[in-house]
A and B are shown apart, each in its own frame.
Chain A
């Protein structure tokens, strides 16, 4: 039955691409599991080095991309690289012909889907990353995800290594007590924020509810924290980033430190949040037995996950595309915009994958960049809401144009950038639309090819 199910799934993938209906990133998996429900478990069991899972609110795709680059030419991978991170996406990745010769499965998992996937795939390691507020209408509150992760950790095999974002008090508390832990985190107060931003989600001690004291706040609530009341504090770091040099959109350099050993990493990705992603990838690579030097080289080769950070030339303007999905991630994107006047396209969709509730845009600190925004175009299914948010952030209403159609908005922002640089900030499905527009004009490859590259 498995063989038949595989054949059907592969035929579906082929048909889906041939008819131009999409990348075949989820449908083959649905066909596979409809015909053979235990196929993902059995296929994962055939991988000689097992599976590694990555989950977090922000950074899953980038973390997997970074790790894949580290392992390039060293370990043959099966991956769900187009960001299809529910059960169907991972089943699809296991079904494709190339997966039959893979040694290791590397899968990013939706936070809510992680427990079920971990039960099925019996991973050798799981990266538990940051937990931020995200798409509440879909998941219920952050605590619900945390509760499901806790239940997962309690039933895990002791041999499964957990790679843990030590900077996140909630994630760290979830993993606490598991016998095999690797803690990673940032250890450089010189790049800390002056204060915890508004979008902080875990400000109060996960044990006793008292407000945390911070030695340094890095991204949202990701921090070097300690509770003055009960003593709950960040765990000692097994893998740390020190001597961080943030060079805006040009990238980031840091020392990757493990015990007495350290190596310089030259990351092509902007922002401190990508240092968190690089650390997660590095920690998994360490668990997989890769030496620090190989890890640093691999991290340095990575040029950005699909749609997260990308440059497009439209007309005579350079457009920098940066994905935003939730307050914490969006605030980090705003932090890396270079100083000076800026032209911006904010494309806000409210489809299922974006979250139907767009109230989160009010928790993003647009106020910090509003005085510098000379021209703003808003697009997407919620273009009017995006315009309203920026008006109340302090952008003059006369500088805001509402152009719901994403393709036309892209042209408009390129016009307004007038041969200079424009910044394009789309939500997830708006990013997919933009990729579609770019691909149809020959500016970029279709997303399933981009992701496989």
Chain B
């Protein structure tokens, strides 16, 4: 079967730099731009073939978005195997649900939402949600991180990846979708299943926490006369 678009990952990296810079506004032009971009890249015939159960068309469809979906899943789950599992589950869900896809959102948005909800389910199922305060005899045994150099802990906390993982999943998803994947608040709201205002709130909170890490690590710019630039 001939596919109507090139199969392969979306352009890696640089997405944030390429986007327009109206992130602080609701219903940004980015929403319109992304929606139009997705629609133009995925031919309706391919989606139609995938809806009818054509495996080649479906795998081509998900392959097109795979790089972005993989980034979202990995930043949510933080584990390569869990990411692989979640993506497999999400893609199967999408395949099963595709005949019922009504096209009320862009197909890419719909796929992102499936990946997002699947990752949340994985987080729940792997016990990463708060557990009941169950204390067994093992609680009295030495913890694995006992005796660890506090400096290591501080260094770890300064790491962006660690700090990103420390965010609540909802905030993590919001900042990844908006700042890393370059989506607008409207589209991100559709993916997360929340209002745009909620997206803005989550992104703001996440940015505030993450910038604490980035800012001190930024080397001060030095002007030609040797003084620190403003």
A, B: real partners: no
